[in-house]
Amino acid sequence: MDWQVKVIKRPIYGQTLDIHTWSRKIVKCYAYRDFEIYDDEGNLCVIATSKWLLINSKERKIAKVEPELANRYKSEIGKCVFENPEIEKLKVPDNFESEILYKVQRKDIDVIGHMHNLYYLDLAYEALPDEVYNKRPFDNIRVMYKKEIKFGETVKCKYTKDENKNVVVIESEDEKILHAIIEVY
């Protein structure tokens, strides 16, 4: 449903990393998972949080996290990487500076038949103006997923600058379906 990443220190290419992850909270049909990435000198490099939705893969419907499943993950209540433990919902900006269209290809599709989560970020990068794209790497990334994108769909990626954040909204070509909102800064 959501992820938020903050890069504190960029590891050196080829460096061994130590990744810590834990279940932070499970409520009804969704769960939070946090991450910390350390370099081989013990320096904290990246923190991240994610919000996951449980889907019944046979029925392709939202499912309740049953207590026996939740107990397997042994959530560490109160242990979170960000000051605000809840991931706030992103809002669609009122105005946009530019937009592109993109037709989803086979290479974009994951094993469950929709666009791979990371490719939403790749698509957002394509929508950034050159002067913004050339300022990467970005140290803060937010992705809020709303509706899956499937093979063959054409999506509209609309860009704007909102305060210090670069925002890309991915919608259906007719702008009736909101697929995702991405912030990079």
What CATH number is attached to the domain comprising 175?
Answer: 3.10.129.10
Residue 126: half-sphere exposure toward Cβ, Cα within 13 Å: 13
Give the per-residue pLDDT at 16: 97
Can you give the pTM of this predicted structure? 0.91
Give the per-residue pLDDT at 33: 95
User: Is it the case that residue 60 has pLDDT exceeding 90?
Assistant: no
> In this structure, is residue 159 part of a structural domain?
yes
Give the per-residue pLDDT at 174: 98
Which residue is listed with tokens 């990393």?
Answer: 17
Please count the structural domains in the chain.
2
> In this structure, is residue 93 part of a structural domain?
no
3-state secondary structure 38-65: ECCCCCEEEEEEEEEECEECCCCEECCC
- Are residues 127 and 174 located together in one domain of the fold? yes
Hey, what's the torsion of the CAs at 18, 77, 54, 112, to 10 degrees?
-10
Give the per-residue pLDDT at 100: 98
Question: In which band, very low, low, confident or very high, does the pLDDT at 167 lie, cut at 50, 70 and 90?
Answer: very high
CA Rg value for the chain = 18
Give the per-residue pLDDT at 77: 86
**Average pLDDT estimate for 47-74:** 87
- Are residues 103 and 137 located together in one domain of the fold? yes
**Average pLDDT estimate for 59-67:** 85
Domain span including residue 130: 98-184
User: Residues 72-120: pLDDT tens digits?
Assistant: 888 898 899 999 888 889 999 999 999 999 999 999 999 888 999 999 9
Mean model confidence pLDDT for the chain: 94
- Are residues 105 and 178 located together in one domain of the fold? yes
> In this structure, is residue 81 part of a structural domain?
no
Answer with the one of 58, 73, 88 that is the final residue of a domain: 73
Question: In which band, very low, low, confident or very high, does the pLDDT at 71 lie, cut at 50, 70 and 90?
Answer: confident
User: Is it the case that residue 70 has pLDDT exceeding 90?
Assistant: no
